[in-house]
Structure 1
Amino acid sequence: MTPEDLHRPVGIFDAGIGSYDLVRRIRAAYPQQDVLYLADRASFPYGAQSESSLLDSVSRAARALERLGASSIILASNAPSVTVLEPPRERLSGPILGVVPPVRAALAALPDDRTLVVAGASVLVHSESLERLIAMEAGDDADRVHAVPADALIALVESGAFLDRAQVAQPIADFLAALRDQHPRLGGLSLSSTHLPWLAPAIAQEAPDLFLFDPADQVVAEFAPLATPGEGRLVSLATESPSHPLAEFQSMLQRMRLDITPTLVEL
């Protein structure tokens, strides 16, 4: 099957396996929706790039998906969604959604004396864009929101270690212990990397008292008016680099027991 076989698909992409969780959720919520899924491994990892490099990578991938027939696009990566989404959004002919921390909704769900940690890639949590988003969404409660890098947890997903609960238990316990030491009133955690929801069951087991917020929830809801009934088909594409060849990505899909065969493309 090729992109030409799809009916007005949604293009969903990021640089790694994290975006597949959003692919899975869109297909579950909109079972007739055709999906064009791109793993941009040639630009891996998005979360470690500068903002200028991110803009180049995201723009190139989004333009390619539009050329391949995507009627709408979801950038399934928190860091570029917050920091560099507006320029490609202005240049594309169709809509493009991003994944952003649900700061306002999370604070509303937490008791007034509890704080929220936005966990994500360093390029996100140290960005002025996230600082502005928190100020806008939290208002007078901005002092209850703390951005914390979670690169070590993200690496557990990209390496495939997350497939073995025993390998992730201690790193997650260490991460949460450090968070509690730094933020004693911690009440909630925004999983603000599309990799982190893969770890949500293990995080919930280690910290059942914490509220976990998945930014993808909002995207799945926002996609409703863009849904275009097809036959629920999926076409997977991937780019590669010498450091991250297609075989590496295929191996990850096999370990996850996903019946997906990506086609190698150049953007």
Structure 2
Amino acid sequence: MTSIASNAHPDAPIGIFDSGVGGLSVLRHIRAQLPQEDLIYFADSGHAPYGDKTEQQVIDRSLAVAGYLLQQGAKALVVACNTATIAAIKALRARYPDLPIVGVEPGLKPAAAISRNGKIGVLATERTLRGDKLLALREQVSSATGATFILQPCVGLVERIEQSAMGSDPLDATSAMLDRYIAPLLAQGVDTLVLGCTHYPFVQDAIERTVRAHTSEPVTLVDTGDAVARQLARLLDAASLRRTSNDAPRLLGYTTAKVEALAQAFAGLLDLQPPVAYLSV
């Protein structure tokens, strides 16, 4: 176990990481709710996707990235990746028991609360849907609410979104893939779709078009990025680590792949142009 309690300071940055650019959807919510905070975003694109890795591989990558972010003085860690949360959050909390750590998980509870007919589709990577954490959560929520969760692995969608963010993938190819995954769920009568990967909110418009093409019934989409930011704020407050003033909040980007790709994703997805650097972590 590693303690950081003696080093944590409100002026320190928050570390956020994902296997690629999907975690930028979470970063967007964090910037909105915690505008005074300095942020470091780490895209482990050189080792993406996490969805086809073994659990131990994801744990090893998560620990390596977290270690680097803590070397940069991070006071809190956001695992902005559903697959990494499912596989590695326990290992991260065991390694850093005094560090505020927030993970993401598919929003099954809010989906069950929102759904009108109790039929909910869950879009996620294969690794996320196979994880014990997700399966246990499904059982818990189903038992408590009577909701039925239909799990749909979206093989290749993360890579497609990554390519689209770099302008190298046609929109119609993404739409065709979404149609293949979403149409069967709608045919089974789901009225709620959980976006179970942080990449998926970036194609929310395309998902909504796909839904409208197959049904005139209202279908609600659930994105948990806002809840992640709220939980981060609560943990910072509990540890007296929230920054209350900052005239020039900083945002830094790091990647284990091409700098240009992450820079383009920042610009294209969030209209931001932070400094971006390559790392061989």
Give TM-score scaled by structure 2 length: 0.82
2:174 to 168, 171, 194: 168
Deviations 1:200-222 (A, max 9, x none): 12212332521100121210111
Q: CA RMSD in A?
A: 2.3
Q: 1:183-194 maps to which residues of 2 (within 5 A)?
A: 184-194=188-198
Q: How big is the shift at 1:17?
A: 0.8
Q: Give 3-state SS (helix, strand or coil) of 1:48's partner.
A: coil
Q: Give 3-state SS (helix, strand or coil) of 2:84's partner.
A: helix
Question: 1:103 touches 1:138 (CA, 8 Å); kept in 2?
Answer: no
Q: How big is the shift at 1:158?
A: 1.2
Q: How big is the shift at 1:139?
A: 2.0
What is the aligned partner in structure 1 of residue 225 from structure 2? 216
Q: Give 3-state SS (helix, strand or coil) of 1:81's partner.
A: helix
Q: How big is the shift at 1:254?
A: 5.3
Separation in 2, partners of 1:185, 1:52: 37
What is the aligned partner in structure 1 of residue 157 from structure 2? 153
Percent identity, aligned pairs only, is 25
What is the aligned partner in structure 1 of residue 103 from structure 2? 98
Q: More deviation in 212-221 or 164-173?
A: 164-173
Can you give the 5+ residue segments of structure 1 that lack an aligned partner in the other structure? 1-5
Separation in 2, partners of 1:219, 1:248: 25
Q: How big is the shift at 1:250?
A: 4.0
Q: Does 1:16 align with 2:20?
A: yes
Q: Give 3-state SS (helix, strand or coil) of 2:191's partner.
A: strand
**Given residue 196 of structure 1, which amino acid in structure 2 is its aligned partner?**
Y
Give TM-score scaled by structure 1 length: 0.86
Separation in 1, partners of 2:15, 2:267: 22
Deviations 1:89-122 (A, max 9, x none): 12113111000112112101111x3311121111
**Given residue 249 of structure 2, which amino acid in structure 1 is its aligned partner?**
G
Q: 1:1-267 maps to which residues of 2 (within 5 A)?
A: 7-92=11-96, 93-111=98-116, 113-141=117-145, 144-160=148-164, 165-181=171-187, 184-208=188-212, 209-225=218-234, 226=236, 227-229=242-244, 230=246, 231-240=248-257, 245-253=258-266, 256=269, 258-267=272-281
Report how many residues are paired. 255
Evaluate the alpha carbon distance shift between residue 35 and residue 143 of structure 1 in structure 2; reply closer, same or farther with a 3 A threshold: same
Separation in 2, partners of 1:252, 1:76: 16
Q: How big is the shift at 1:167?
A: 4.2
Question: 1:72 touches 1:95 (CA, 8 Å); kept in 2?
Answer: yes
Deviations 1:11-45 (A, max 9, x none): 01111010111112211222111101111123211
